[in-house]
Chain A
Amino acid sequence: MVMDHHPEHPDVTAEMWTRIDTILDEHSSVPGSLITALRLCQDTVGYLPPPLLDYIAEGMNLASSQVFGVATFYSLFSLKPKGRNIIKACTGTACYVKGIKEILNHIRNSYSISEGETMPDRRFTLEGVRCLGACGLAPVMVVNEDIHGNVDPKQVKGILEDYQ
């Protein structure tokens, strides 16, 4: 079902709306596919702005409350814009024992962002994430798709300078 109007939003382009309509079209009749649809929409836009959630609810024939409920339950979904580069610092036990706290401190001091925050110029988003299962490399920091293992707090700045 393609709806006749798209809400206006600065972060959602016309191409994105077309893609979103396709996603909703493919999933609206499949029971239980809300999480999949949300994931694909987030992949398209980068995050899930609230007007988009309302649009998804309409397209999936679901109550807005249900869509908001699911989008806020799972940590994968973000209702706020994210940075161009996502730093995922593993906060699992092994990384904790090996000192991820210090690494987070260094990032906070260097870029003035804490866990869950994005820099005003959207260069970095810092996320503390659940165990990444790479405990052999603890402490682990993942920047976009690159895994950095055995990170020394002193190297943090050097590693991050490569991401603009």
Chain B
Amino acid sequence: MSKARMQLMLCSGTGCHATGSKRFHEALDAELNRQGLTDEIKIVETGCNGFCAVGPVMLVQPEGIFYQKLTAEDVPELVEEHFLKGRPVPRLFFKEHMSKEKIPHIDDIPFFSNQVYRAMRNKGAIDPEVIDEYIARDGYFGAAKALNEMSSEEIIDEMLTSGLRGRGGAGFPTGLKWKFAHSSKGAEKYVLCNADEGDPGAFMDRSILESDPHVILEGMTIAAKAINATKGYIYCRTEYQLAIRRLEIAIAQAKEYGLLGTNILGSGFDFDIEIYQGAGAFVCGEETALMRSIEGKRGMPRPRPPFPAYKGLWDKPTILNNVESFANVPQIILKGGEWYASIGTEKSKGTKVFALSGDINNIGLVEVPMGLPIRTLIYDIGGGIPNKRKFKAVQLGGPSGGCVPEQHLDTLIDYEEIAKVGAIMGSGGAIVMDDRTCMVDMARFFMDFIQDESCGKCTPCREGTRRILEILERICDGKGEAADLKSLEDLCEVTSNSSLCGLGQTAANPVLSTMRFFMDEYKAHIFEKRCPAKTCQALLKFTVDAEKCKKCGLCFKACPADAIVWKKKEVAFIDTTKCIQCMSCYDKCPFDAID
């Protein structure tokens, strides 16, 4: 390991990569070379740090100074002032949104300080392409313990004690799943990792794979020992090329170190892992569909039972767990199930990773203890809503989930509590929406997604989702009728009750949830032909409020369609025949005179 006096943990996740971390890295490298500092100061390219909103980011260790929004032009000052003279550069510190206070230390930044790292314990702390760095942070110690000191039953008991539930969304107890597969008879069994992350707005699996690939290999190896499997597959989205590359490197390194393959760590246990690239089908996140896909067929679900624990891949006993679930396993085995269960609520133990995005200041990936109020997640960690807008709802659980509105923000993060308000924990996508988001349009968006991804095997899902979408499109187009609300409810009920797999069974949730909390918006669309959030273009009709208008002419200048008539010292007028509903005037008016 390096004996450098300073380590620069530079994030090279997808977010920072896109905002220019590579250019910064090259400039930094050149400057350190020029100053002859390469022996004392080491740059470590880490996986996703999580704080994507302010990328590219870099953590200076051992001091714990956090820099944000770095550019190549910042390099000379950073090296000269901080790395040589020991004076950190405040200009590049994180700035608190409300107080505008500059915070140098990572531990003092609310985005980080409210988090508890378990599944993401190595994020930003190691070079994901160097196995020694993983091992240095207790990597493969859990696997060593499981393989050499524990029986399958003991591993399963530890998992049951931990209370870990499936992090892919459904929340089925992981230990129980393993127990079924363990008791299932068969010489050949499989351990599968679901890395086919498909929920829009969820990117924790990609991030874990990119920043800590070995933890997945270790978790899967422990699972293999528990159910006595010899072969594992990681089913990964083909879009996640960086994750796939890092997994390939990790597998090769683990094999070289004898941590994967035959006779792992001299225990006599054999286990091998292969990566399988998905070909783009959302429904393949469903377990039986995923297995069909690995078999090279159309990824269509089949009825259960038989459950995969008895008849899965190639009709052999199989367990499938999500990336985040596996990421928790090594620590549970190493530190014990009770340690894991020491935080959380009665039925939801440990931590959950959320991907915060949408209309929120601190966009990024966060890991929080179960039992935290959603409000803390949005306002303390997420830093609230930007541009002084008002919070409207947070969408949890993607296309199978629902919206949590303002009045339910004190709901605790817990599988059952979140379900009570009509959303689901899901894979952890948390999309925040401000008052300019139309909830009918949001329901339409998710239904459009689902009906497109429905595999078409069962009629309720194939037809139901399409009919629901047609009604929602009609409402957004200003052609909604009074009877549509009842039809929506009926269709939602049938689709939920009679679809074959989880995709169809939960497809109606975004509609039901928005109808429950935002019925007034549905009614405004249908009866008043009005979109209160000003999103549905067909329903936008702009007029100028003569009393509020200050006759400044900003709207006139903003209009790209010459639809505004205005002369000096006169109230503006909008010619609706020319108006293209682009909202330029609406956004520009400082007096809210256009509505």
Contact = CB atoms under 8 A, between A and B. Distances in A.
Q: Is A bound to B? A: yes
Interface of A: 31-36, 38-39, 66, 69-70, 73-77, 91-94, 96-98, 129-138, 140, 147-149
Contacts of B299: 73-74
Interface stretch (B117-125, B193-201, B370-378, B417-425): B193-201
Contacts, number: 126
Contacts of B238: 39, 76
B280 A138 contact: no
B279 A149 contact: no
Nearest to B355: A135
Contacts of B296: 31-36, 70
A131 B201 contact: yes
Given A32-B295, A93-B398, A93-B445, A132 B239 contact: yes
B198 A130 contact: yes
Interface stretch (B10-18, B141-149, B251-259): B10-18
A135 B18 contact: no
B328 interface: no
A137 B358 contact: no
A138 B445 contact: no
A147 B18 contact: yes
Interface of B: 14-15, 17-19, 52-53, 55, 197-203, 206-207, 238-240, 277-282, 293-300, 314, 355, 357-359, 363-364, 395, 398, 429, 431, 433, 437, 445-446, 449, 455
Contact of A137 (B15, B199, B295, B429): B15
A138 B395 CA distance: 16
A74 B282 contact: no
Contact of B280 (A69, A76, A97, A134): A76
Given A31-B314, A94-B357, A135-B358, 5 more contacts: A74-B299, A75-B280, A96-B200, A136-B364, A138-B357
Contact of A74 (B240, B280, B429): B280
Contacts of A66: 297
A35 B18 contact: no
A93 B18 contact: no
A77 B437 CA distance: 34
Contact of A32 (B18, B199, B294, B357): B294
A35 B279 contact: yes
Contacts of B55: 136
Contact of B201 (A32, A129, A135): A135
A72 to B, nearest CB: 9
A61 to B, nearest CB: 12
Nearest to A38: B279
B314 to A, nearest CB: 8
A74 B363 contact: no
Contact of B200 (A31, A77, A131, A137): A131
A36 B17 CA distance: 28
Contacts of A134: 14-15, 18, 52, 203
B355 A69 contact: no
A130 B429 contact: no
B294 A133 contact: no
Contacts of A135: 52, 201, 203, 355, 357-358, 363, 431
23 contacts: A34-B297, A66-B297, A74-B281, A94-B201, A94-B357, A94-B358, A94-B431, A97-B433, A97-B437, A98-B358, A130-B198, A131-B202, A133-B207, A135-B52, A135-B355, A135-B431, A136-B15, A136-B55, A136-B363, A136-B364, A137-B18, A138-B357, A147-B14
A96 B399 CA distance: 13
Nearest to B433: A97
A108 B437 CA distance: 24
A25 to B, nearest CB: 17
B17 A147 contact: yes
Max chain B CB contacts within 10 Å: which of A73, A97, A136, A137? A136
Nearest to A102: B582
Contacts of B198: 130-131
Given A93-B445, A94-B201, A36 B298 contact: no
Contacts of A76: 238, 279-280
Contacts of B279: 35, 38-39, 74-77
Nearest to A131: B200
A74 B298 CA distance: 8
Contacts of A131: 198-203
B115 to A, nearest CB: 16
A54 B101 CA distance: 65
